[in-house]
Chain A
Amino acid sequence: MLTRLLLVALLAGLGLSPAMAAPNGAKLYGRNCAACHGETGNGGIGVPLALPSFQADISDDYLRKTISLGRPGRVMPAFSHLDKAEIEAIVRHVRSWNKGPAATYSQRLVKGDPAHGKQLFGQYCATCHGATGEGRQGVGVTFSRPRDLPIMAPALYNPGFLAAATDAMIKATLMHGREGTPMTSFLKQGLKEKDIDDIVSYVRSFEKQPLPESAQLLQAEGPVIIRESAYDLKTTVENVKQAVTTHNFFYGRVQTLEYGLIEPARENPKQVIVYFCNISLLNQALAVDPRVGMFLPCRITILERDDGKVQVMSVNPKVLSRLFNNAELNRLCEQMSESYTRIMEEATL
């Protein structure tokens, strides 16, 4: 008790509150993890972290690295804004669901025959983890995966996974399986320990391969696409409305940016937004990642500057691939980026 009082007094003297000294793991988990992993670690979108078989085989270090590195291209972001103490607090909170001691693993590489491992991988692992370990649609690639699956089969060919998981941890998972998920013990499936070592060495060999497409995010030239218009504001607005319809979108409405913020008579008429949509495309995008709705409907802004020149601009859809950390969106984002650019050029040239 005396020690605690002294500590509080010391922290107060340093201008720190006890709360600052010890990050609140439950609160940090709620803010950063619960939306996908569930408030009680029951999963949903992300891995059910409270699953006893998961807790039994996962090391604290795996959790730390997973939080800080994420899974590039596969929804789980890198929480680079969290410091070491905050990550540790989240790990401790997640571990509070664990009834047994945390697993610890050797850092040593498992020796095996990757060529034989590849053969076994195709036979035993590819159905869930993808032919080359890149994961498959519906098992973790998309945010919209079927929610009736108890767990996502991880993309083993993902740099985040390979950096977080030691060979010994992968081996333990193969040996024990993961009760409560489709992952069953490979020993029970008739494989020998040597075969499992071969599979582990094959999985580790992914590190030497080029970055898989499923871990690549689009590079955007800038966050906004901007074009100068050769026309006045009114004509440019009409041109944009016309151009969206010729590119298979339906025109929705025209509003000023300040619509709803102030009475109509005071809205700035020189900042105009044309809203448009392609419902089929919207449905496809939401099926991959329902979070993209925040950038919908599609919109192009037409702006008359103080010097009288008119510009059209829009969010560059390529930045969304990175924002959502979802490589499955890449194709749609590229397609949208091309469509926006064509519409804007058609309306301004």
Chain B
Amino acid sequence: MLRRTLGKAVLATPLAAPALAQSGPVEISFWHGLAQPLGGILEGIANQFNQSQNRFRIVSSFRGSYPETMVAAIAGFRSGTAPHIVQMFEVGTGTMMAAGRAIKPLHELLRETGVTINFDDYLPAVKGYYSLADGRMMAMPFNSSTAIMFYNKDAFRRAGLNPDQAPATWAEMRTAAARLRAGGVEIPVTTAWPTWTQVEQFSAIHNIPLATLDNGFGGLNAELRINNPLMVRHLNTLMEMGREGTFRWGGRDGAGDALFANGSSGMIFASSGARARFVRELPGGIANLGVAMLPYYNDVQGAPINSIIGGAAFWAMNRGPNAARSADENRGIAEFFAFLAQPRVVAAWHTETGFLPVTQTAFREVQATGFYTQNPGADIPIQQLLRGGGQMTGNSRGIRLGGFVEIRTAMQEEMERALQGQQTAQQAMDNSVTRGNVVLRNFERTNRG
């Protein structure tokens, strides 16, 4: 406790820092938003870094959920006590990119400290998400995931479906869902993270824009485009399935996971990071857990292509509006990032948690150990990220929209109203666009300067 207080005092008085840096390690504060068991595994990695050298010490602290961590970091910056490193979920990327001197762009940090990380080795989808249009990296990718489909093999068997073959298209989905329903499965299809899986990922794999200017990568003046015919058609599909009793709204954000974990749902769209939980909780365990790629409409030209990533990345932050970091502190941050890029660290995190192996070297190393043959389906997320040849388009590179947390909430609300029968699919998507664009314009206005 005393040490921690002392550490804070050191950070608060820049004059004293160089004097103490010679006598002890430079402390680097690191705020993350992962609950147990993931948080513990993450902090374990930070401890490994601490033991690997004696110049820097990472002080990890759990700050609640992803949105709470984001809010805490922003409040910290406003009061001059921001952490050196913050874990930020992908939805906050647009906000962080536009954060000006609140953040220390990764490319700048690496250039100033002379630390090198080979980003060519990173999966294109991961690298693209956190880089500027010209390819310069803004944040350190770490725990990336993507949306995939999990299915209950036992439920498939009971319904007379082949448990080794998941439906690949939406037409097949509906047939399979109807069979599951007839076979007594309470909830044939549900979803976690509804807008992420059914709007954002859906748009990416069908190569249609979520927003103009390459989903916001091209500038702050992007506008939402989700009221397009395909998106409306898809929401209609979900609404029809809802009326037929083959699709159940599982709630916002990650709430839907519970419906699959307790065995009442036959198929779910969820984060690949949910794998660890399903293996542990699903009745029948891993033998009962089917993993497949997201389904698509096969009459859409060119579909499917790669899905996009979710999860979080690490951002280096400045302490406050008028306080930059010392060279020592920046050096510590950069070296910790370089540690995180090591194939062995990436591979261990991937196999322990179900998040993606973010570098190609780590993926090959894990492949060589035979992990994927022992854990069938564990490589589905990465295959899906490379689907369609891995050539990303402006629609499948990612999303870079400011205020996206708010836009997601608006989309979820409009979808809920549509699924309740209070409005049509077209109205839901039109309203989402109108409300989302208000958020985008406000963000553009406050971040112009």
> Do the two chains bind?
no
